[in-house]
Structure 1
Amino acid sequence: MKQKKVPMRMCLGCQEMKPKKELIRVVKNKENEISVDFTGKKAGRGAYICKNIECFRKAKKAKRFEKAFETSISEDIYNTLEKELEEGNGG
């Protein structure tokens, strides 16, 4: 049997390539709205982050989301992501 290719994406925090399913996708659509995409299926430009709060903080501090989307990002998106990561880590 032929093995299925696993899609890899780079985390904005640690800059490591990881399987797409292990990452959280943040997406910018055509209306320049930025949202958190937990399904990984929303249309638009995606950027990925580990399910690790430290990676998120690193990416936020270095403004890597802004660079990926070439636009400023509201604090609401950061708060949603941070809350989700803290809950996901048993917090």
Structure 2
Amino acid sequence: MMKRRRVPLRTCIGCQEQKAKRELIRIVRTPQGEIEIDPTGKKAGRGTYICKKRSCLEAAMKGKRIERSLNHPVSPAVYEDLAAQLPDDADEE
């Protein structure tokens, strides 16, 4: 009998829904204090997660949720990079 693997869940900072870690984009504050997008999910530092939906990114930007979660100001360039990583057909739900 095979054991079922546990899927790590994370909460989206935009919509507050729990989803599988692989479905989300990770944003990390490195030990040097830089804010970066972490496509591998393995960079060292404080991380937060966001869905691949424009509505979640807009909600996170409006409430400064990413800044609050990482305890660090986020530059507009990071938000632009995040928007560029979203699929063009990012569904509005």
Quote the residue 1:2 is aligned against: 3
For residues 89 and 49 of structure 1, the distance between their equivalents in structure 2, rounded to whole angstroms, comes to: 16
Q: Tell me whether 1:89 sits opposite 2:75 in the alignment.
A: no
Is there any run of 5+ residues in structure 2 with no aligned partner, and where? none
Is there any run of 5+ residues in structure 1 with no aligned partner, and where? none
Q: Displacement, 1:61?
A: 0.5
The aligned amino acid for 1:40 is G
Higher-helix-fraction structure: 1
- State the percentage of identical aligned residues: 47
Q: Is the 8 A contact 1:22 1:50 kept in 2?
A: yes
Q: TM-score by structure 2 length?
A: 0.91
The aligned amino acid for 1:42 is K
Quote the residue 1:21 is aligned against: 22
Would you say how many aligned residue pairs link Structure 1 and Structure 2?
A: 89
Quote the residue 2:80 is aligned against: 79
For residues 29 and 12 of structure 2, the distance between their equivalents in structure 1, rounded to whole angstroms, comes to: 16
For residues 90 and 60 of structure 1, the distance between their equivalents in structure 2, rounded to whole angstroms, comes to: 20
- Alignment deviations for residues 8-44 of structure 1 (CA, whole Å, 9 cap, x no partner): 0000000001000000000011111010011111111
**Structure 1 vs Structure 2 CA RMSD:** 1.1
